[in-house]
Chain A
Amino acid sequence: MAKLNLVEAINLGLKQEMKRDKNVIILGEDVGKDGGVFRVTDGLQKIFGEKRVFDTPLCESGIVGTSIGMAVYGLRPVCEIQFEGFIMPAFDQIITHLARIRNRSRGRFNVPLVIRCPHGGGIRALEHHSDCPEVLFSHIPGLKVVIPSTPYDAKGLLASAIMDEDPVIFFEPKKIYRSIKEEVPEKEYTIPIGKAKILQKGNDITIISYGAIIHKVKEACDKINDISCEIIDLRTLSPLDEETIIESVKKTGRVLIVHEAPKMFGVGAEISALINENVLTSLEAPIERVTGFDVVVPLPKLEDYHIPSIGRIINGIKKVINFS
């Protein structure tokens, strides 16, 4: 089995899906000859030709809007939006149409479309290249939102996303595009959308997170030996795996939620409410959130203050544990 990073795993996943199903096509800005600005689609145009892997003009609304039409007509477009900050011109198409066509047409039409999009900060980039807009999409009924944090998960989730009969926003944590390698099977496999992963078992506290930051959560837990942390990697934000969360909280009674996105109205708030609604009496301490601050993502000089640090995560864990 080959050790692959996230970029290579997704690339391999795309290749396999394209081989499996001739309706799968790839479109987006610079995805063809250039192979994508992060090289995720590298080499695919050479293999599958310009009809199945093609560069579009610079128009995100156009990319998503036409992909909707193509998907309705039987293709399986996987379109790339170059950075999460540039998904906004397509927001209208995503919210007003992509998420609703099944409902609007009473099930006559569905849109099996995957929008791949790099996600999050930590790469010292220009404005709009380091945002975490996942809740904007998780809030919308009709969309599925996936965000893997390892190469293995990425490949399996991508396969599921492409086979899904509903639209999937597939966020790729760009900070860890090349920083982690792990064994990824050549053969096809899927990981179900809507199923979280228990990254580490533990008894004292449940830490819920997703995306690139989960690796910092793991590091933080490794640094504190005397606390037994259970780490949940959500992997899918919508639909949320409620059961895994609830079962874990029943066991630990203490919860920390960590995400890079701002705190206000975020994933943390949703999960906190979910726990309150279902297992309030299991709680032994208030739920704590360690998140990005409620600010516009700063440029690189201040980025490290914004993205939750290992220190902040450790403090969060201690605060929850020490509550009595």
Chain B
Amino acid sequence: MEISSPSTEMFDSTARLTKAEEYLRLAKVDPSDLHAETQVVSFAAPLLSDDYRLIELDKHLLERLEQGETIILRGTENDIPVLCTDKQTFQVKEAETSNALLLSPDCHATGNVVKEGVHFLGACQVVSVRSHYLELKEVVRLKTSRLRELLEERPFFGWENETDSQANCYSIDDLLEQVQGSKAQLLQVIETLPVCEIDGKLRQLAFEYRSRMLADLVDTCESGQTTGLSEDHLNRQAVREFFAANKAPPSFTDWFLRALCTATDVPDVLRLDERQVCRHYAELLLRGTKRFNWDDFWTAWCQCVPVNMTPKESFLEGLGLIEQGARIKTIELFPVEDLPEDPQERFDLLFRRRPKWRHADMEPYLRDLATSPKEIGVLLTKFCRSTTVGGQKLYNSRDSSYSA
């Protein structure tokens, strides 16, 4: 489509309008059928098209911006950027159209074009021509691998092992410089990790530190010597005082009560959570040995958990992988947290580890990738093939190089 160069006629507004109306008549449009205002549309001078970028927003995002909120783009140079409000995260992708989008600050549309009166010539400008715009896709579940890496740089092993250095210690704001997600979603993920805030920094609690503290508390409970501290009856304040006396940071108690205890009917009284505490002891045993003979493991596990607790095989979901061989049953450490977050990579790793899986065995290793059992089903259909052997449905890789 060609654009005419400016001619002397243009500077004479009446002549220009006359010419426009002549063209309209030739195009079979009767000027008397038109609203009063006809606008000459011109490019701005200078035309700085590339200064402008278009981004698709949903109504709510626009409203928030109109109310003065700031939204933030996060990511390093190598990342696909994400756009974050305080609670939501959106992946940003560039979309293209084959059309030309002409951006005008002052073009009158049907809402504000002058309708009545003598026909006249108005003017408006186009400040940019775009054929690309940014599209947003909401990210409900954040990727956590970078966050975990950062938190693992400097775990907390207890005050006696701390130095003055703050290197590799990150506050929530430090983390937001490097991790791609909204603050609220990030804090939600952190709540599920063995992390607590110490001196303004978010610190991963080292496994051995957690073990030591748990063991001390369990011993105290079993000795019955301290009021307010028994396995079924943990008084919140008594727990706080116990850990304070053991020189734990104040926030350690919050983590402990949240991660290893459950509420009772009585306010401020909790009990040790059997599943979480038994899992902790299972992890302790499994970390010590590459592969455990099942019977040895079971015996050791029963012995080391608190006296009133009973281990169950189901407590090991997503933590230990049980291999039932022809003659021997074994277990080894295989935590879901160590698996890749990308679904294809996850399934590849699972099938390398074991070519065929039963649903019940595989499901705990997929729960963190989905928000419902239905979504897990979708993943299985997409990434696996299934066969039925002896009435039992087994999943295997779509990639034939993983066959048993």
- The reply to whether chain A is a binding partner of chain B is no
